[in-house]
Amino acid sequence: MTTITEPVSKPANDLADVAYWQTLNRKSLLRFFMLQQLNTGPMHGYEIGSRIALCCDARPTDAMIYTMLKELASGGYVEFETAVISGRTRKTYSLSEPGIKAYQAAAQAWSMVLPQIEMAVKEAGVEPACCTTMVIDASIFGD
Whole-structure pTM value: 0.75
Measuring CA to CA, how many Å separate 79 from each of 40, 42, 56, 96? 14, 9, 25, 6
Fold of 21-126: Arc Repressor Mutant, subunit A (1.10.10)
Rg for the chain, CA atoms, rounded: 20
What are the residue boundaries of the structural domains of the chain, listed by start?
21-126
pLDDT digits (tens, 9 = 90+) for 42-80: 999 999 999 999 877 788 999 999 999 999 999 999 999
What is the band of 131 on the pLDDT scale with cuts at 50, 70, 90? very low
Non-local (6+) Cβ contacts of 20 within 8 A are 13, 14
The pLDDT assigned to 55 comes to 79
The pLDDT assigned to 132 comes to 46
Percentage of residues in the chain with pLDDT exceeding 70?
83
Where helices occur in 61-96 by DSSP H, the ranges are 62-74
The pLDDT assigned to 35 comes to 97
